[in-house]
Amino acid sequence: MIRVSVNGYGTIGKRVASAILAQPDMKLLGVAKTTPNYEAFTASKLGINLYVPESSIKEFEEVGLKIAGTVEDMVRNSDVVVDATPNGVGAQYKQLYQLSKRKAVFQGGEKSNVADVSFSALCNYSEALNKDYVRVVSCNTTALLRTICSLGKVSKVQKVRGTIVRRAADPKEVKEIPISSLVPNTARVPSHHAKDVNTVLKDLDIVTMAIIAPTTLMHMHLLNVTFSTKVSREDILEVFKNTPRIILIRSKTKVNSTAEILEVARDLGRPRNDIQEVAVFEDSVYTSGNEAFVMYAVHQESIVVPENIDAIRAMTGFNDVDTSIKITNSTLGIRGGYII
């Protein structure tokens, strides 16, 4: 059993912790929290060990939260730490992981140089084999890479141009978000997503633009892909249909929006209403000569979870990408084909 701990029990950390609990080859040692908020109480209620910084022990005990040890204890007793702390905080923890000689998975909010390799299970699993530090790319980049690497089975991908409509905040967030307008993401082109894709697909010609929209539900991507040969809509749909971690939404089900996608997740009884797959609108797939066009939705809160699990296996030497992906998918209920 691989002993795994999670540093930071927020949007991503809580989902990765649940996913680790579902793996037959992993044991969740516990999670680290800095503030005794509702997420710490929930973890405790779920029977998950809580580790905190030495300076926070008193604060946690005062509100009645039982502590299993310090963050240092947690790291020392783990084979792999999944760092799911806020953007940039992971890099500060790297020294602790290095001093303790422990492997760590970082998230997409960290700069790519925090790790030996940026990771997407469907694109470069083998590059993470036995590595000490791996960075799972962000939610948008994970979706872009899954889609592009799958489309590579249709024909060689020569060029990608994409527009990313970003959710302004996660549903749990109480910070102010723009409710009156669409905000160009710093109005910088290319947006950082293209550069992030290039940390994995180094030679790909890709340009992305991004805009923030007043929604909390999902991101949406509008992609234009140029291939080296003529492609057909049927071939593209066939690949999407047969790639677990990509699901198709058909118009006859009358799912026309991100709100309805998440309602389907609720109705299917998915934990936390999560859609860990890229959700492709079938009718949006259009081809013209060497070009394909597609629109898909990205559930930012959960899409990176399966990649975190596969990264842990790769770093601990599990040299079979297909089996790792199969175990992760089956334990987390991740599918291919039509969502309904």
**Which residues are annotated as catalytic?**
139
Q: What is the DSSP letter of 338?
A: B
Stretch that binds ligand NAD, among 16-24, 102-110, 251-259, 274-282 (CB under 6 A): 102-110
One of 197, 255, 304, 314 touching ligand NAD (CB under 6 A) = 304
Stretch that binds ligand NAD, among 148-156, 209-217, 272-280, 296-304 (CB under 6 A): 296-304
Helices 38-45 and 11-21, packing angle to 10 deg = 10
Q: Total binding residues for ligand NAD by CB under 6 A?
A: 27
41 contributes a contact to ligand NAD by CB under 6 A = no
x/- binding map, residues 255-294, to ligand NAD, per CB under 6 A?
Answer: ----------------------------------------
What does the angle CA 189 – CA 200 – CA 275 come to, to the nearest 5 degrees? 85
217 contributes a contact to ligand NAD by CB under 6 A = no
Of residues 73 and 301, the one with the C-beta less far from ligand NAD: 301
Structure tokens given for 224: 């234009």
Q: What is the DSSP letter of 144?
A: H
5 contributes a contact to ligand NAD by CB under 6 A = no
Residues β-bridged to residue 212: 166, 183
Q: Is the dihedral of CA 191, 210, 166, 263 positive or negative?
A: negative
The full DSSP string for 215-249 is -SS-EEEEEEEEESS---HHHHHHHHHT-TTEEEE
69 contributes a contact to ligand NAD by CB under 6 A = no
Residues β-bridged to residue 126: none
Stretch that binds ligand NAD, among 3-11, 112-120, 232-240, 241-249 (CB under 6 A): 3-11
89 contributes a contact to ligand NAD by CB under 6 A = yes
**Integer angstrom CA distances of residue 174 from 41, 177, 262, 329:** 19, 9, 20, 32
301 contributes a contact to ligand NAD by CB under 6 A = yes
Residues β-bridged to residue 290: none
Chain residues in the site for ligand NAD (CB under 6 A): 7-13, 32-35, 39, 84-87, 89, 107-110, 138-139, 170, 300-301, 304
